[in-house]
Each structure stands twice: as C-alpha cells, then as structure tokens.
C-alpha cells in the first residue's frame, strides 16, 4: 500500500468582525504583544484631515464646501474632521509613531483638538 499523496494541515484561526469587516486572528498564544493598537480608521481620518488642510492652505480648493462636494460628504463633516489636523504634536506622535490607541472616538478626538495642546493628550489617551 502506498503513502497518501495529500497532507492536511490544521491552523487554528479565529474570524472576528471589526467595524463590520471580518478579520482573521491567529491563536492567542501566537498573538504579538503589541499589534499596533491604533485603528486604521483613525489613521485614515488624520491623513484625510491633513490632506484637506494642505489643499485649503495651498489654494487647491477655496472652501470647505468645495472639499465636501469633491468628497461627496457634508460640509459639517469636513469641518469636524478638519479639526484632526490641528491636534497637538505630542498627540500625533503617540498616535502615528508610538501607535498608542486612543480611548475616545474620532469624533471626540476632533472635539479634543479645540482644547489647549497641554490638555489634549489627557483627553485623547486617558479616561476622564
């Protein structure tokens, strides 16, 4: 009798939904200690805010309404998200370089951008 020609490999993965999208996770003992922490949607929102800020300051667009029309969103949304471009440098460093996850939503981060720079880190990274 000959040996079987196929080999079956079992890899214990778990499928979890995050923000409505499935995400495949390795077993708990295989997980890295730090998985990056920051939600990609937060990073994308900050990048979009900086892009919009550069467009406004560079004269590529005249108003937030022009951005809203081009992006197919409301001017109120553009105004709220544009505030993320004015977060304190210390907060941006923790989010983008150190990959520390915020404890608040993107909407609350935009509201925190109106605080003094010295107060923003406390509002974004620690529960009050």
In a domain, 92, yes or no: yes
* Domain presence at residue 64: yes
**Which pTM does this prediction carry?**
0.69
> Is 2 domain-assigned?
no
Domains identified in the chain, total number: 1
* Domain, as residue range, for 54: 40-125
Give domain status of residue 35, yes or no.
no
Mean confidence (pLDDT) of the chain:
84
SS (H, E, C) the chain: CCCCCCCCCCCCCEEEEECCEEEEECCHHHCCCCCCCCCHHHHHHHHHHHHHHHHHHHCCCCCHHHHHHHHCCCHHHHHHHHHHHHCCHHHHHHHHCCCCCCCCCHHHHHHHCCCCHHHHHHHHHCCC
pLDDT of 112 higher than 80: yes
Residues 59-72 have pLDDT tens digits of 999 999 999 999 99
Q: What is the pLDDT of residue 15?
A: 74
């Amino acid at each position: 009798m000959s040996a079987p020609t196929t080999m079956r490999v079992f890899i214990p993965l778990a499928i979890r939904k995050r923000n409505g999208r499935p995400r495949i996770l390795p077993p708990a003992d295989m997980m890295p200690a730090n998985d990056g922490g920051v939600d990609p949607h937060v990073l994308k929102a900050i990048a979009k805010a900086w892009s919009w800020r550069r467009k406004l300051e560079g004269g590529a667009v005249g108003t937030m309404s022009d951005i809203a029309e081009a992006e197919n969103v409301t001017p109120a949304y553009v105004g709220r998200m544009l505030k993320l471009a004015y977060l304190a440098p210390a907060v941006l460093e923790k989010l983008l370089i150190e990959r520390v996850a915020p404890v608040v939503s993107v909407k609350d981060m935009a509201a925190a951008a109106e605080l003094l720079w010295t107060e923003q880190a406390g509002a974004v990274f620690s529960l009050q």
